[in-house]
Amino acid sequence: MLQTDELLGAWRNSPASKVPPSELVLVTDFDGTLAEIVPDPAETVARPDALQALSRLVRLLADIIVLSSRTNSQLEALVPISGVRLIGDSGLAAPRHAHRDALEQFNSDVAVLLEGITAAWLEVKPASSAVHFRNTNMSGGEMLALLQPLLEGRPLAGYLGRKVIEVHAPRAGKGSALAALLPGQEPGGVVCFGDDENDRSMFEYVAALDIPHMCVGVNSSEAPPHLFDICDVVVSGPEEAAALLNEIVEWAESYK
């Protein structure tokens, strides 16, 4: 676990800390980043110290974005902070006709398949579907192999995350969402936090920016290989992520 002075050093040594707070955009995932992963997603709550940091930063930074695979309505309940921009369903665009039909057919087929798998369940979202299997004894590879025949021939792809498989249009996700959003804001710098496979495209997009930036990986025993290779700093979990957020608060409040 990083010590407070190490977290402070990681932030103070980042090029992003040289940007005035009013020009800095902060983007963060929710599950596994602002909140611990729990067996039942309905029981998830954000860490109070993380929410406190965001509530202070919202009046100091150019923008705070929570970019999550959760739906917007779920995020509104989980992050009840006025001024924070909530982007659900990984920022996926509303599906075109072919993708919508394919998702509906996949949902129908996978619902039948999951009847035979105790504790696995399907979550239907506006532009994607998620197969949750945390409470089963199946590995991610096993579940993905089971679903693959239902994806073949359809304009869909399955992406393995932390005991969940997200199904949506290929090559879409958080990186594409930020690429569509951030240029219009013309930020002076960007900081992003994430913990799972669906954050990889976000890391790749932010790491390639030609403005000051910082990618923060939130590690766990379930993190996929090489996810944090291009991150500037890796913290051990949501507790350290919240501590780093509060270091950014202290910096922003004392910025001259």
pLDDT digits (tens, 9 = 90+) for 162-207: 999 999 988 888 999 999 999 888 999 999 999 999 999 999 999 9
Using N-to-C axis directions, what is the helix angle for 140-151 and 97-114, rounded to 10°? 130
Per-residue pLDDT tens digits for 210-252: 999 999 999 999 998 899 999 999 999 999 999 999 999 999 9
For the chain, the average pLDDT equals: 93
The CATH superfamily holding the domain 4-92+173-254 is: HAD superfamily/HAD-like (3.40.50.1000)
Rounded to 5 degrees, φ, ψ at 248 are -65, -35
Contact present, 156 and 170 (Cβ < 8 Å): yes
User: What percentage of residues in the chain have a pLDDT greater than 70?
Assistant: 97
pLDDT at 220: 95
Report the top-level CATH class of 97-168.
alpha beta
Give the model confidence (pLDDT) of 78-95 as tens digits.
Answer: 999 999 999 999 999 888
Mean pLDDT value across residues 112-138:
93
Q: What is the pLDDT of residue 98?
A: 83
pLDDT value, residue 248: 95
Neighbours of 40 (CB within 10 A): 9
Q: What's the pLDDT score for residue 1?
A: 55
Q: Is the pLDDT of residue 134 over 60?
A: yes
Comparison of pLDDT for 9 and 179, the residue scoring more: 179
- pLDDT confidence of residue 121: 95
Its pTM stands at 0.92
For 36, 37, 109, 176, 217, the CA distances from 220, given in Å and listed in that order, are 10, 10, 32, 25, 10
Q: Dihedral of the CA atoms 255, 202, 216, 235 (nearest 10)?
A: 150
Looking at residue 95, its pLDDT comes to: 82
Q: Is the pLDDT of residue 22 over 60?
A: yes
Q: Quick one: pLDDT at residue 6?
A: 75
pLDDT exceeds cutoff 90 at 8: no
More confident residue, 97 or 218: 218
What percent of the chain is modeled with pLDDT above 90? 84
Of the candidates 130, 161, 136, 122, the one whose C-alpha atom is nearest the C-alpha of residue 32 is: 161
Residue ranges covered by each domain of the chain: 4-92+173-254, 97-168
Q: 57 in the Ramachandran plot: left (φ > 0), alpha (ψ -120 to 50) or beta?
A: alpha
Task: Work out whether the CA dihedral 34, 36, 40, 43 comes out positive or negative.
Answer: negative
Summary count for the chain: helices (H), strands (E): 8, 10
